[in-house]
Amino acid sequence: MKINEYQTNRHAEAVRRREERERAAYEAHKAATELAEAHAELEQLLADARASLTPTPTQGAPWDAETRYIAGDTVEGYVALKYSRNKPPAANLGTYWAVQTVTYPAWGDIEDGTVIEVDTIVTYNGKTWQCTEQHIKSTVYKPKAGSSKWSEYTE
């Protein structure tokens, strides 16, 4: 009697484990199917979005009421702060647009040995300088009046 009960319990345990494996396999298959369907839906959404995209605005070009601008786009001295369309920069400063400011690297922040190209603009001793002749950054060629490598820059 005890052997029969033991065998019955072992058989029941084996059946339970097999059912668990089958249930896990079914759940994995179901999840994979759902994932594949979601992937296909996402691919279709991307394809639809690409089809309706408007051209990227040319940076620095004149503002255009029909163009869609996103944060970082620039038009004639303004930079977009967030998405906008038909929001003129001058009338929407602080909300959609900001005045574009130019900052130049400080001479001291440029590593010695860096090649300084012609037209590179830097700040040094409270002034803005433009490189007139390619050279390697060193204390010998620092921006100063009368330098053969630099001229004072005014916008």
| Lowest model confidence (mean pLDDT) among 2-6, 82-86, 107-111 | 2-6
Residue range 101-125: mean pLDDT, rounded: 91
What average pLDDT is seen over the chain? 87
Query: Got the DSSP string for 25-66?
Result: HHHHHHHHHHHHHHHHHHHHHHHHHHHTPPPPPPTEEPP-TT
The pLDDT-based confidence of 134 (bands split at 50, 70, 90) is very high
- Work out the angle at residue 84's Cα, subtended by the Cα atoms of residues 79 and 89, and round it to the nearest 5 degrees: 45
Q: What is the mean predicted confidence (pLDDT) over 73-92?
A: 92
Tell me how far the alpha carbon of residue 147 is from its chain's centroid: 40
Dihedral sign for Cα 35, 38, 44, 47, please: negative
Phi, psi of 6 (to 5 degrees): -60, -45
pLDDT at 8 over 70: yes
pLDDT above 80: residue 33: yes
pTM confidence score: 0.42
With tokens 């490598």, the residue in question is 149
